[in-house]
Amino acid sequence: MTRRTALGDFRAYCWFHVRLGAVACIGGFLFGYDSGLMGAIITFASFQDDFRYGKGDATRTNSLVVGIQQAGAFVGCWAISPVAARWGRRSAIEICSTVFTLGAILQTINTHSLPAFYVGRVISGLGLGGSSVIISMFSSENAPKEIRGRLGSFYQLMYTFGIFTAYWVDYAVANRMGSVTRQWQVPIGLQIIPAVLLGVGMLTVTESVRWLAQKGRHEEAWESLKWIRADDSAETRAELEEIQASIAEEQAARSGFQYSELLERHNFKLLAIGVTVFLCQQSVGATALAYYGPQFFKLLVGAGPSNLLLTAIFGAVKIVACGTFVLFFAERIGRKSALIGGASFMAVCMIIITIVTKVRPPPGGGVITSSGIATVALIYLNIMAYNFSWGPLPWPIVSEIFPARIKEIGVATGVGSQWLWNFMYSFSVSYMMAAMNEYIFLFFGVADILIVLFTIFVLKETRGLSLEEVQTVYSSDKTRTKPFLAGSEVEGRSSIDKRGEPV
C-alpha cells in the first residue's frame, strides 16, 4: 500500500492528528486558563467574604492563593517523569488529568477555609506541572516531523487563548453575578471541563511509539505507528527502524552516565544557561502581569470597574500577538535577534511607564486620563514584544542546547526551574506592589536591561541549525554569531539543516 494514497487512509491519518493536536491544545488551554484565573478572583468581595479575610490579610492571602499552585507544579513536573517512564505517556497524562480535576473540585467547594483552598491549589498544581511536561513529550514523540514544530507552537498559542478566556470569564461574572458565592465558583469550576476532556482525549489515541520501542515492545510500537500514520508501507517500517536506531544511539550516549558529570565545566555551563533562560523569561514582568492584571492596571489608572475590562483586553492583545508570531514569524527571524529586540523594547516601555505614573499619578474614582491611556497602551505594546520573544523562544532554546548524554536531565532542570521562578514571582509580586507601587515597573525595566546583556554575551544564534550544529556552537568559545541577522549563518553554515528543513 502506498503511503496514504487511499482516501480512507488519508482521512484516518488526518483524524488522528486532529485528535493529537486537540490533546496538546487542551493541555495548553488548561495551563493558560488557570494562569489567568485567580488575579481577578482575589479582588472579588464574594471571595473575600466566603473565606473570611480582611484587607490586613489581603497581601499574604493573595500571594498564597496565586503562588502556591506553582509550588505544586514545580513538584509535579519532577514527580511525573518516573511515572511516564514506567507506565507510559498516556497513563501519565490521565493521572495528571485526574489529579488536577480533584484539586479543582476541592477549590470549587465553598469550604469557608483558606487552608482547604490552598490544598486544592497544590493538588491542581501537581497535575498541571506534570501535564505541562508530558503533553509536550507525547506530542513530539508521536507527531510526524512535518507538523512537530507546529504542534509545539500551538501549545503555546492555546496557553495564551486559555489566559484570554479566563480574563473574559472573570469580567463576565464580575458584572453579571454580583457579590454571591457563585461569582467565584463558576470561573474556578469551569476549569474542570478541559481537565476532564484532556483525560478522556487520551483514550482516543495510541501510546507513544518511542516509549513502546524504548521498552522493547516492538510489535506494539509497529501497530501504534501504523495506526498513527494510517499506513503499513516500507516507508513507515523504515521510520520505525529509524526510531529504534535513534533510541539505541541515545542509550549508548548515556551509558555509564554519572551525575558528577553535570559538574564538569561545559555541562554545568549549559545547565546554568537553561536555568537562567527561564529566569529571564519570568523576570521580564509578563508572568506578573498575567497573574495580577487588575492590580497592575489599578496602579496605572486607579481603582475602578475598568480594571477588569483592561485586563480582558490585555488577554486579547496577548493572543493576537502570539498567534501572529506562531503563524508568520516563528521561523523567519533569528532567535537571538528577537530576544535582544524584545527585551530592549520591554525595557523602554517599563521605564517610560514608571516616569509617567510618577509624574502624572492616576486621579482615581474611575477616571482614566490621557496619561493613563498612554501607560495602558505601553503595557499592551510590552506584552506584544514578549510574545514575539521571551514568551515562546526559551522553550526551543532549552530543548536544543544539551547533548544527548545529559539531554533528559538538562531539559528537566530547565523546565523545572521555569516553575520555580514562576512560583517565586507569583508569590512575591503582591508584596512587591504593596512596597514599591509604580516603581515595580522600573524593577522590570532594569531586569530587561540585564536580560539584554545576558543574551548578547551568553546566548548563541541557533535558528536554522541542526541539533549537531547547535552543540558545536555552544561547545566552541571561538564561535562568533551574528545576532541581528534574521537568516543567520554561524561559521558559514547554512540556515537549513542536513535534511533540508528549518530547525
DSSP code string of 389-409: TTTTTHHHHHHHSS-GGGHHH
With respect to residue 490, please indicate whether it lies within any of the assigned structural domains: no
User: What confidence tens digit (pLDDT) does each residue in 145-169 have?
Assistant: 555 555 556 777 788 889 899 999 9
Q: Which amino acid is at 150?
A: R
Verify that 138 and 275 share a domain, yes or no: no
pTM, entire model: 0.79
User: What confidence tens digit (pLDDT) does each residue in 318-370 have?
Assistant: 889 988 887 777 667 888 999 999 999 999 999 999 999 999 998 876 678 89
Handedness of CA 286, 114, 198, 415 (dihedral sign): positive
Residue 397's pLDDT is 87
Verify that 176 and 307 share a domain, yes or no: no
Q: Which three cell numbers stand for residue 323?
A: 498567534
User: What confidence tens digit (pLDDT) does each residue in 446-462 have?
Assistant: 999 999 999 999 999 88
- Give, in order, the Cα–Cα distances in Å from 119 to each of 80, 149, 346, 426: 19, 36, 36, 17
Verify that 54 and 160 share a domain, yes or no: yes
With respect to residue 118, please indicate whether it lies within any of the assigned structural domains: yes
**Could you read off the pLDDT tens digit of each residue along the chain, which spans 503 residues?**
444 444 445 454 455 556 666 676 788 899 889 888 998 899 899 999 999 988 888 889 999 998 899 889 999 988 988 898 889 989 999 999 999 999 999 999 999 999 999 999 999 999 999 988 888 778 777 766 555 555 556 777 788 889 899 999 999 999 888 789 999 999 999 999 999 999 988 888 888 888 999 899 999 999 888 877 777 888 888 888 888 888 888 788 888 888 899 999 999 999 999 999 999 999 999 989 988 888 999 999 887 778 888 998 998 998 899 888 877 776 678 889 999 999 999 999 999 999 999 999 988 766 788 999 999 999 999 999 999 999 888 888 888 888 878 887 888 888 889 889 988 998 899 899 989 999 999 999 999 999 999 999 999 988 777 667 887 888 875 444 343 333 333 333 333 333 333 33
With respect to residue 241, please indicate whether it lies within any of the assigned structural domains: no
Verify that 175 and 65 share a domain, yes or no: yes
Residue 482's pLDDT is 40
Verify that 317 and 443 share a domain, yes or no: yes
Verify that 178 and 267 share a domain, yes or no: no
With respect to residue 345, please indicate whether it lies within any of the assigned structural domains: yes
With respect to residue 175, please indicate whether it lies within any of the assigned structural domains: yes
76, 96 Cβ separation under 8 angstroms: yes
With respect to residue 21, please indicate whether it lies within any of the assigned structural domains: yes
Verify that 445 and 324 share a domain, yes or no: yes
Residue 152's pLDDT is 59
Verify that 197 and 276 share a domain, yes or no: no
CA pair distance 498, 503, nearest whole angstrom: 10
Based on the structure, what is the number of domains in the chain?
Answer: 2
Instruction: Kindly report the CATH number assigned to the domain that includes residue 427.
Output: 1.20.1250.20
With respect to residue 274, please indicate whether it lies within any of the assigned structural domains: yes
Q: Angle, nearest 10°, between helix axes 7-41 and 306-324? A: 150
Verify that 8 and 152 share a domain, yes or no: yes
Residue 496's pLDDT is 36
Verify that 324 and 178 share a domain, yes or no: no
On the CB side of 454, CA atoms within 13 Å amount to 21
429, 462 Cβ separation under 8 angstroms: no
Angle at 150 between CA 343 and CA 479, to 5 degrees: 50
**DSSP designation for 330:** T
With respect to residue 495, please indicate whether it lies within any of the assigned structural domains: no
User: What confidence tens digit (pLDDT) does each residue in 211-256 have?
Assistant: 999 899 999 999 888 877 777 888 888 888 888 888 888 788 888 8
Verify that 198 and 269 share a domain, yes or no: no
Name residues whose C-beta falls within 8 Å of residue 293's C-beta, 6 or more positions apart in sequence. 36, 39, 40, 167, 307, 310, 311, 314, 315
Verify that 188 and 294 share a domain, yes or no: no
Q: Which three cell numbers stand for residue 225?
A: 505507528
Residue-range definition of the domain harbouring residue 40: 1-205
Task: Map grid coordinates 536544543 to a residue.
Answer: 400
239, 231 Cβ separation under 8 angstroms: no
Task: Map grid coordinates 506562531 to a residue.
Answer: 326
